[in-house]
Structure 1
Amino acid sequence: MSNLSGFVKRVRDVMRNDAGINGDAQRIEQITWMLFLKVYDAKEEDWEFDDEQFESIIPPKLRWRNWAHVENQHDGLTGDQLLNFVNNELFPTLRKLEINSDTPIRQSIVRTTFEDANNYMKDGVLLRQIINIIDELDFGSYEETHAFGEIYETILKELQSAGSAGEFYTPRAVTEFMAKMIKPQIGETMADFACGTGGFLSSWIKELEAIKDAKGSISNEDSEKLYNSIYAIEKKQFPYMLCVTNMLLHGIDNPKVFHDNSLTKKLLDYTKKDAFDVILMNPPYGGSEKEDIKQNFPADLKSSETADLFIAVILYRLKKNGRAAVIIPDGFLFGNDNAKVNLKKKLLTEYNLHTVVRLPQSVFSPYTSITTNILFFNNEEPTGKTWFYRVDIPDGIKYFSKTKPMKLSDFDDCVAWWNDRKEIADEEGNSKAKCFTSQELIEGGYNLDLCGYPHEEEEILSIKETIINYKKHSEAAEEKINSTLAKITEILGIEL
């Protein structure tokens, strides 16, 4: 496990010297395709051990063990030879691997992973150094693989500061909280239709493994159900590649993760076989969809807002009695356009929208300052009431940031309240937790912007009032300074 320490720093230090790497996003993408091949090669060793008939979809010359791995780090392709091999043999071949409907998922993911991947490095000597660092990782060891899973999470976390790439990363505290509250059961299926780097999938598996550990042991059939319970789609290549590697590291040999767009199928074409027991999601928001995408939705749910369309997909793909937890922006809560109103009407009258958890503004900082919320709802008969709960920033910090991210423990008060629900007012008398009937919400025009964060009202003063106000505050400040100076001089015995 010692070779894991400082892994990220070592790779970063080498890459800084390569003229082809421009910024964090390219650095992480560069690391990821190499990590994928290293992890995939370790998996193939396992599959070969279990099945003597196993044949790799990757041609022998292009398997990690045959070009990247070397016993002596002074051996192996390097410089221009290595660049020529990677750019003109490795990538073109993997992008065009032959796959068909009979190709197992664990093999088809190789081509999908490389279809839009890139090698940004221009210095073949530096590229060899990176390959050697990655090759030191021992994925044949269970302990090492598990430990690296933690390091991989830190790599994913860095996406938050990697420009627009941050949109694919949901803070782990949030995904873990949502997975805990949804209470997974072994045998259930879970889906994420815009999975990004796979945060919700990881948190779901973590919860199921906790159940497995608590039982001591489970049958092979249940174990198989656990690791085959996920289904995910990701539209963009880079997060797709990250997610697949993430799932392989989590022991999922056949990750049902697809490089596709969840919005391209007609909503009304979904049937019961397309539904899932649980849906955990942070749909993309703020985006605008083209007319051909909107045509896949009925008139009452048609919207140019990406998040609205995903909510519609979730409603249509959630099994009867299924459970969902979905992150949505504030705009959905108070929005009154046709699609938003109709979606909220469905949630209140056809589904059981039982809880709305309001998150602090800075949870997704620095990627976005948009305030978000979590909708918890079931595909069951409505109870006729919806609880709202506001999660406040903990004492001692003004806002969450990259250096002070949200922690799972910041949800402790919410978890305690969840199991013993009561209405709560804060010190200013504003509602922090409150229950509303569906009738109240409907009569309020489907406005779900309730139990929100108090905002200071802006006071508009005249010029004269502004001058008087300034003079009053400056005089008070000067008096405080003079008083403090007087105390200091008295203590020091200084006469002025």
Structure 2
Amino acid sequence: MSSLSNFVKRIRDIMRNDAGINGDAQRIEQLAWMLFLKIYDAREDDWEIDDDNYQSIIPEECRWRNWAADDKSGKAMTGDTLLNFVNNTLFPTLKNLNVTPDTPLKKSIVKTTFEDANNYMKDGVLLRQVINVIDELDLSDYEESHAFGEIYESILRELQSAGSAGEFYTPRAVTDFMAKMIKPKIGEKMADFACGTGGFITSWLKELAPQVKTTADQAEYANSIYGVEKKQFPYMLCITNMLLHGLDVPNIYHDNSLLRDVLDYTEEDQFDVILMNPPYGGSEKADVKNHFPADLASSETADLFMSVIMYRLKKNGRAAVILPDGFLFGTDNAKVAIKKKLLSEFNLHTIIRLPSSVFSPYTSITTNILFFDRTGSTTETWYYRLDMPEGYKHFSKTKPMKLEHFDPVIEWWNNRQEINIDGFDKAKKYTVKQLTDDFGYNLDLCGYPHEEEEILDPMDLIQRYEEKRASLNAEIDRVLAEITALLGGTKE
């Protein structure tokens, strides 16, 4: 177990000496495909015990146990021999595995996982050293396997500081809080249509696990998740994460959730629960927008995902979704249409405002958690502003957000009361009439009083200004139309 505690450090120290590894993002990507093969090999051990006729999709020479495992007899490949095998046999073989529509998911994931994977290392001796560190993991030992799950979490956390890879990771405190408040039940299916490394899925499983009492419950538990991830690298990390959590058939697909007509979704495509942090800040091409009704066809990625969520949430289903401030204050046509649909067809019962540095250092854009269900239209919406905890100026890599920082919300949740501090609303209830008629679908209420202290990255700042400008223009148009109507004229 002691070797586990410095597992990441040992690998980092070896990789630093390899000329092919350039920065944290490549180091983690290099580690990811090796961990996948090691963990997949351990799962195959279990599958072989359960099924005497089990046949691996991976040819024998490419199975981890046959090329990577070192029995210390001096026969393990190293140096140029190992490098040549990895580059010219292992990768081409796994990228070109024969997968048909009939191939079981637990086998086809090997090819999908390797589609865009790379071996960056150029020194075969160093590569052997890294492989040996990974091979020391005893994943058949429950305690060690569980402890390694924690280490895998820390590897995923490192993505936050590995350049653009940070977008794949939502802080665990946030996913845990959302899963806790959504109250999973055995027999329900949850979905995340942009699941990244699987943070929401693992939080859902963790919250659901104590309810597993029978083998039937276990089967429901294993079948309770559905994820889609567009980018290859987080998809690989997510599949590995699921295998580590004992899910033999992870229902995770390498696909783009925005490339299907939302009007084609039927009840078969709907879920009891949706937990998500949709990608935001992205701008989608016209062909993506064609999959949405004209009034909902926003060019902003988060808006489009919000529409997908609304079309794919079951009757009586529940959702918790992270959205940027731009969604709340935006009053351009598409955003208003999306919010109209949300308030008229769903019950948006709670909005939790989050401090700006929750996603630091990846982005400083302030976000919110919207909790809603499909039980009828909204009558009232509660807001709660979560302030920074005592002793914190902002969250950071060394001082990340913790689940206990949500304690004030959890305490307030079941005994809701309006709270006003120094003249600023911290918790307040608004009727749907106020949100629609009085505020014109600008849901930016109970915000942070000291907005001027917020320092944004230049690109985030530009995006914020563009959103504010679009929102103000729409607001001016709305007010002018009202004035014109009062004066008895019509405004073209």
For normalisation by structure 1, the TM-score amounts to 0.90
- Among residues 304, 308, 313, which one is paired with 2:308 in the alignment? 313
Partner of 1:156: 156
Amino acid corresponding to residue 403 of structure 1 in structure 2: T
Change (3 A) 1:76 1:298: same
Alpha-carbon separation, structure 2, partners of 1:373 and 1:114: 35
| 1:29 and 2:29 aligned | yes
- Among residues 215, 219, 225, which one is paired with 1:224 in the alignment? 219
Partner of 1:438: 432
Partner of 1:233: 228
**What is the aligned-residue identity percentage?**
71
Where 1:88 maps in the other structure, the secondary structure is helix
Partner of 1:335: 330
The alpha carbon displacement at 1:338 in A equals 1.4
Q: 1:228-247 CA distances to partner (integer Å, 9 max, x unpaired)?
A: 10000000001000000000
| 1:369 and 2:364 aligned | yes
Change (3 A) 1:85 1:456: closer
Alpha-carbon separation, structure 1, partners of 2:211 and 2:378: 29
CA contact (8 A) 1:358 1:374 kept: yes
CA contact (8 A) 2:177 2:406 kept: yes
- Among residues 399, 408, 413, which one is paired with 1:413 in the alignment? 408
Amino acid corresponding to residue 13 of structure 1 in structure 2: D
Amino acid corresponding to residue 350 of structure 1 in structure 2: E
1:184-263, aligned counterparts within 5 Å?
A: 184-212=184-212, 218-263=213-258
Where 2:147 maps in the other structure, the secondary structure is helix
Change (3 A) 1:188 1:456: closer
1:374-389, aligned counterparts within 5 Å?
A: 374-389=369-384
Q: 1:82-134 CA distances to partner (integer Å, 9 max, x unpaired)?
A: 11111111011101111111111110100000000000001111000000000
Alpha-carbon separation, structure 1, partners of 2:451 and 2:241: 43
The alpha carbon displacement at 1:144 in A equals 1.1
Partner of 1:267: 262
The alpha carbon displacement at 1:73 in A equals 7.2
CA contact (8 A) 1:167 1:367 kept: yes
CA contact (8 A) 2:343 2:378 kept: no
Where 2:191 maps in the other structure, the secondary structure is strand
Change (3 A) 1:453 1:74: farther
Q: 1:141-163 CA distances to partner (integer Å, 9 max, x unpaired)?
A: 11111110000000000001000
Alpha-carbon separation, structure 1, partners of 2:155 and 2:161: 11
Alpha-carbon separation, structure 2, partners of 1:237 and 1:448: 35
Partner of 2:134: 134
Q: Mean alpha-carbon deviation: is it higher for 229-238 or for 2-11?
A: 2-11
CA contact (8 A) 1:73 1:132 kept: no
Q: 1:423-479 CA distances to partner (integer Å, 9 max, x unpaired)?
A: 0011x1100000000010001110110001002679xxxxxxxxxxxxxxxxxxxxx
Amino acid corresponding to residue 437 of structure 1 in structure 2: T
Alpha-carbon separation, structure 1, partners of 2:75 and 2:147: 28
The alpha carbon displacement at 1:75 in A equals 3.4
- Among residues 374, 380, 401, which one is paired with 2:396 in the alignment? 401
CA RMSD in angstroms comes to 1.0
Instruction: Give the unaligned 5+ runs of structure 2.
Output: 454-492
The alpha carbon displacement at 1:2 in A equals 2.9
The alpha carbon displacement at 1:210 in A equals 2.6
Q: How many residues align?
A: 452
Alpha-carbon separation, structure 1, partners of 2:247 and 2:433: 45
CA contact (8 A) 2:345 2:378 kept: no
Amino acid corresponding to residue 271 of structure 2 in structure 1: F
The alpha carbon displacement at 1:140 in A equals 1.1
Partner of 1:45: 45
Bigger radius of gyration: 1
Alpha-carbon separation, structure 2, partners of 1:345 and 1:303: 14
Change (3 A) 1:408 1:49: same
The alpha carbon displacement at 1:3 in A equals 2.7
Where 1:432 maps in the other structure, the secondary structure is strand
Alpha-carbon separation, structure 1, partners of 2:332 and 2:322: 19
Q: 1:10-66 CA distances to partner (integer Å, 9 max, x unpaired)?
A: 000000000100110100000010000000000000000000010000000000000
Q: Mean alpha-carbon deviation: is it higher for 378-387 or for 114-123?
A: 378-387
Amino acid corresponding to residue 427 of structure 2 in structure 1: A
The alpha carbon displacement at 1:5 in A equals 2.1
Partner of 1:113: 113
The alpha carbon displacement at 1:176 in A equals 0.2
Amino acid corresponding to residue 174 of structure 1 in structure 2: V
Partner of 1:67: 67
Amino acid corresponding to residue 434 of structure 1 in structure 2: K
For normalisation by structure 2, the TM-score amounts to 0.91
| 1:429 and 2:404 aligned | no
Alpha-carbon separation, structure 2, partners of 1:31 and 1:74: 24
The alpha carbon displacement at 1:211 in A equals 2.7
Find runs of 4+ consecutive structure 1 residues off by over 6 angstroms: none
Alpha-carbon separation, structure 1, partners of 2:344 and 2:5: 53
Instruction: Give the unaligned 5+ runs of structure 1.
Output: 213-217, 459-496
1:474-493, aligned counterparts within 5 Å?
A: none
The alpha carbon displacement at 1:346 in A equals 1.1
Where 1:375 maps in the other structure, the secondary structure is strand
Alpha-carbon separation, structure 1, partners of 2:95 and 2:452: 57
Change (3 A) 1:5 1:442: same
Amino acid corresponding to residue 288 of structure 2 in structure 1: I
Alpha-carbon separation, structure 1, partners of 2:84 and 2:201: 37
Change (3 A) 1:407 1:88: same
Change (3 A) 1:190 1:282: same
CA contact (8 A) 1:351 1:377 kept: yes
CA contact (8 A) 1:182 1:325 kept: yes
CA contact (8 A) 2:99 2:108 kept: yes
Where 2:447 maps in the other structure, the secondary structure is coil
